Amino acid sequence: MNSNETNLDFNTRVKRLYFSDIVRQRLLNRVDVRSIRKWCEDNSVKIYKDSTGEYAMQQEFDLAYDAPIIQNLKLKHSQDWQIVYKHYLNDELYNLVDIKPKVEPKSPKYSPKGRISKLMVSKN
């Protein structure tokens, strides 16, 4: 095999997610194709068309749909977020018991200015 050639398995095809399937499976809780099209545009999911109808790439759709969850996991678990995400996807949440989220120290929102106020806060 030439070093410029890639080892791709062409038997596995990119999965298409047709808008009619999104409506039928209620993946986005939307009942109109126009609202699905708008969601795809808002989330930078490319829309394709063929003789069957409009569709998006399944993987690209899933990534856009899970993006808020992924961002949250990155904040909570920093370097372990991929492991936690895999457990979410495989419905293995029991494995997350051993993984502790990263805890950031919270800064106090109120800082007393007066002498009496400082005394009252220090008692609590």
Q: What is the pLDDT of residue 71?
A: 92
Lowest mean pLDDT among 13-17, 24-28, 100-104, 109-113: 100-104
Better pLDDT: 7 or 98: 98
Give me the phi and psi of 72, to 5 degrees please.
Answer: -65, -45
115 located within any domain: no
* pLDDT exceeds cutoff 90 at 39: yes
Q: What is the pLDDT of residue 16?
A: 92
Q: What is the pLDDT of residue 103?
A: 62
**Residues 53-103: tens digit of each pLDDT:** 999 999 999 999 999 989 988 888 888 888 888 888 888 877 777 777 666
On whether the CB atoms of residues 23 and 33 are closer than 8 A, the answer is yes
Domain range holding 70?
Answer: 16-105
Task: Kindly give the pairing relationship between strand 54-57 and strand 48-49.
Answer: antiparallel
Query: Which pair of structure tokens corresponds to residue 17?
Result: 């997610």
Give me the phi and psi of 53, to 5 degrees please.
Answer: 150, -165
CA 58, 60, 65, 66 torsion: positive or negative? positive
Query: Which pair of structure tokens corresponds to residue 8?
Result: 């791709």
Lowest mean pLDDT among 3-7, 38-42, 62-66, 68-72: 3-7
The closest alpha carbon to 19, from 53, 68, 42, belongs to 53
**Number of domains present in the structure of the chain:** 1
Cβ count near 40 (within 10 Å): 22
3-state DSSP assignment of residue 54: strand
Q: What is the pLDDT of residue 9?
A: 60
* pLDDT exceeds cutoff 90 at 1: no
